[in-house]
Amino acid sequence: MPEYHISHITRYTYPAPVIDSANQVLLFPVSDLLQEVKKHELVITHHPAVEVFTDYFGNRTGIFSVLRPHTELSIRSHIEVITRAVSLPEDSSAASLQWEKLSAEREQFPYMDFMLQESFSAYADIAERVKGLISGDCTPFRAAEKMSAYVFEHFAYRKGITSVETEVDEILRLKAGVCQDFAHVLLVMLRIAGIPARYVSGYICPKNHELRGEGATHAWVEAFIPFYGWLGLDPTNNCIVSDRHVRLAVGRHFSDCTPVKGTYKGPSEHSLEVSVTIDNGEQKKENEENTPVFSYQVHQPGVSNNSYRKFLEMQQQQ
């Protein structure tokens, strides 16, 4: 059973003091039979009280406020977690029986939320591709595997050409992106096929540095398989999710799982730096942490210093 030490640091800096910073964090690792959380610690600038509740999708969610003037907001999440291997679906029932059961269940709570399809111009083309991947005797499990492999094979892993706001039509045009984009396309395909699918935010853990998305927050998809339950599929790495993945949150799409988002009063100019370090052994010392794997700057000169501004953490999941 692998054990991982994960440090996830989010740091905002502002050119002038800001006040009334109200934030939401989805940084609490899932605790269940496949993932044992040994320790989790949040360290935040000025040590505000963090109120924790469970959201609609079952995610542990924290909210906090920093009211006093500050020019930096740092959110440090330190996790120690043990993961366990996943048992695959037996997939022994007839394909027709599985699709019938799926048809009856997908319109029921909680699966109906994960069937909601966005509108995009290339829908007919993608629907035709999905249809071509599912033969008459193909079970939902095998169909999901085929669609994950299709995304892996037809999209290039390329950083810097998309953002958290990139829509599926643009991803399909570029045929490239990062894990967030791969997950986005697979969600669309699974839902077209009639398979409930949800977005998963978390981390992928290093071994021999052979996986895409190491050293950053990662994203993948869970498909609902009849007679089994939710199965994780990582289209960025063309694999079934197992003990190399650490789960933080699930939702319909990225915005349901954003690691950090919030509002504040002050200048709209700011910078964001994010670093993630994952270790198989002892937790690294503070001065040994990697340089930021993600940085982002907002420049909006001339905007009133007293205006009320809202910003999501513009951290792309890699």
CATH code of residue 229: 3.10.620.30
Number of domains in the chain: 2
Residue at 38: amino acid letter:
K
Q: Are residues 154 and 290 in the same domain?
A: no
**CA torsion, ordered 78, 80, 81, 82, to nearest 10 deg:** 160
Q: Are residues 59 and 111 in the same domain?
A: no
Q: What is the pLDDT of residues 40-59, one digit of tens each?
A: 999 999 999 999 999 999 99
Residue 180 lies in a domain: yes
Name the average pLDDT for the chain.
Answer: 88
Q: Are residues 162 and 229 in the same domain?
A: yes
Residue at 317: amino acid letter:
Q
CATH code of residue 8: 2.60.40.2250
Q: What's residue 135's pLDDT?
A: 82
Residue at 95: amino acid letter:
A
Q: Determine the structural domain holding residue 298 and report its residue range.
A: 3-83+258-312
Residue 212 lies in a domain: yes
Residue 139 lies in a domain: yes
Q: Of 243, 162, 136, 150, which is closest to residue 190 (Cα–Cα)?
A: 150
Q: What is the pLDDT of residues 260-309, one digit of tens each?
A: 999 999 988 889 898 999 987 644 444 444 455 556 566 655 454 445 55
Q: Are strands 176-177 and 156-157 parallel, antiparallel or unpaired?
A: parallel
Last residue of a domain, one of 232, 256, 280: 256
Report the C-alpha gap between 189 and 140 in whole angstroms.
Answer: 12
Q: What is the pLDDT of residues 83-129, one digit of tens each?
A: 999 999 999 999 999 999 999 999 899 999 999 999 999 999 999 99
Q: Are strands 270-279 and 260-265 parallel, antiparallel or unpaired?
A: unpaired
Report the C-alpha gap between 153 and 143 in whole angstroms.
Answer: 15
Residue 162 lies in a domain: yes
Report the C-alpha gap between 297 and 70 in whole angstroms.
Answer: 18
Residue 317 lies in a domain: no
Residue at 73: amino acid letter:
L
Q: What are phi and psi of 66, to 5 degrees?
A: -120, 105
Q: What is the pLDDT of residues 188-214, one digit of tens each?
A: 999 999 999 999 999 998 766 556 656
Q: Are residues 238 and 306 in the same domain?
A: no
Q: Are residues 53 and 112 in the same domain?
A: no
Last residue of a domain, one of 223, 240, 256: 256
